[in-house]
Amino acid sequence: MSSAETDGLTADGVFELLSNHRRRMVLYYLRTNGRSVGVQELATQIASMENDVPTDELTSQQRKRVYVSLYQTHLPKMADMDIVEYDKDSGTVQLAGRADDIDDYLTTDDEPAYPWRFHYTLLAIGGAAALSLFALDAPGFDAVPVSVLAAAILVAFAGSVVGQYWQAQRGTDEVPVELSRYDQ
């Protein structure tokens, strides 16, 4: 029984695993692919990402370099840690049970940078209060037409939606942690 089967993953073990760019690329590809793949296909896809060329433009040397390192080094190491299931005989690899355990080390906080829930709650409360004051003929509100008040509330919500969308789009352009090259 390997140490990965008897011990939990340690932070040092996870960081050692993630310290190599190719191992992070293996995780990325297997996660986005979601199925068992052949080592040859995996090597081709990783070589394509590393060399920033389509798979049909890869040289045999580019493929072979990645294949050999995966076959001899990276996949056995990942299998020993129970991150991937690697069958040398059939030449297939897939994510294993402990792959999800490293998510804490890969992902950032899921909380948005701006508290949008609070923002929309305040907008709703402010809009409801303004309409209530209008309905009660409060001083200052009785001179404003209801259509102007309603339009102002709608514009505030629409502006918030645009702002939130813009912030979300800006955040999706980030390179996944698995593909970042912080080991070079």
**Pairing mode, if any, of strands 84-87 and 37-38?**
unpaired
Q: What's the confidence (pLDDT) of residue 165? A: 87
**Euclidean distance between CA atoms 53 and 172, whole angstroms:** 22
Instruction: List per-block mean pLDDT (blocks of 10 residues) for the chain, which spans 184 residues.
Output: 52 86 90 89 93 92 95 92 90 88 65 80 94 89 87 95 84 55 47
Q: What's the confidence (pLDDT) of residue 33? A: 85
In terms of residues, how long is the chain?
184
Query: Which CATH entry fits the domain spanning 3-106: 1.10.10, 3.40.50, 1.10.760, 1.20.120?
Result: 1.10.10
93 has which bridge partners?
37, 86
Q: What's the confidence (pLDDT) of residue 7? A: 55
Q: What's the confidence (pLDDT) of residue 112? A: 56
Dihedral of alpha carbons 78, 82, 86, 89, sign: positive
Enter the pTM of the model: 0.57
**Euclidean distance between CA atoms 107 and 51, whole angstroms:** 25
Query: Would you list the domain boundaries of the chain?
Result: 3-106, 116-172
Q: Map residue 175 onto helix, strand or coil.
A: coil
Name the residue among 159, 129, 131 with its Cα closest to residue 145.
131
Q: What's the confidence (pLDDT) of residue 1? A: 37
Largest Cα separation within the chain, whole Å, is 82
Are 143 and 114 in contact by the 8 Å Cβ rule? The answer is no
Q: What's the confidence (pLDDT) of residue 167? A: 81
For 86, the enclosing helix (H) or strand (E) is strand 84-87
Q: At what angle do helices 146-172 and 116-135 cross, to 10 degrees?
A: 180
Q: What's the confidence (pLDDT) of residue 147? A: 92
Q: What's the confidence (pLDDT) of residue 35? A: 86
